[in-house]
Amino acid sequence: MGVVAVVAVCAVLAVPAFLVPGLSRRPERGTRRTLGAGARAGGKAPGILGRLFGKPFHTGSRAMSRSGSAGRRSRGRMPF
């Protein structure tokens, strides 16, 4: 379920990044902030469990950042 949510948010972030690159950074920062809070909360578990609980949030945040930057990068390559 979580993977589907991250994929859906990545797709939603890629579209505004392509259409309106300047306005796409704020939603991207919001999702990064939300996932960062989850990673911090998961990271408070003791020992190796902290890394295991925080890892999905870090991975999701990285995926969302990549989709936004890919949309902006592809917009920059367009001839118009």
Residue that has been written with the tokens 């925080």 in this structure: 54
Q: What is the pLDDT of residue 23?
A: 86
Residues above pLDDT 90, as percent of the chain: 34
pLDDT 10s digits, 6-27: 889 888 888 888 888 888 889 8
Q: Which of 65, 49, 73 is nearest to 10 (CA)?
A: 65
Average pLDDT for 29-36: 90
pLDDT 10s digits, 58-72: 999 999 889 988 888
Q: What is the pLDDT of residue 50?
A: 92
Provide the 8-state DSSP code for 80.
-
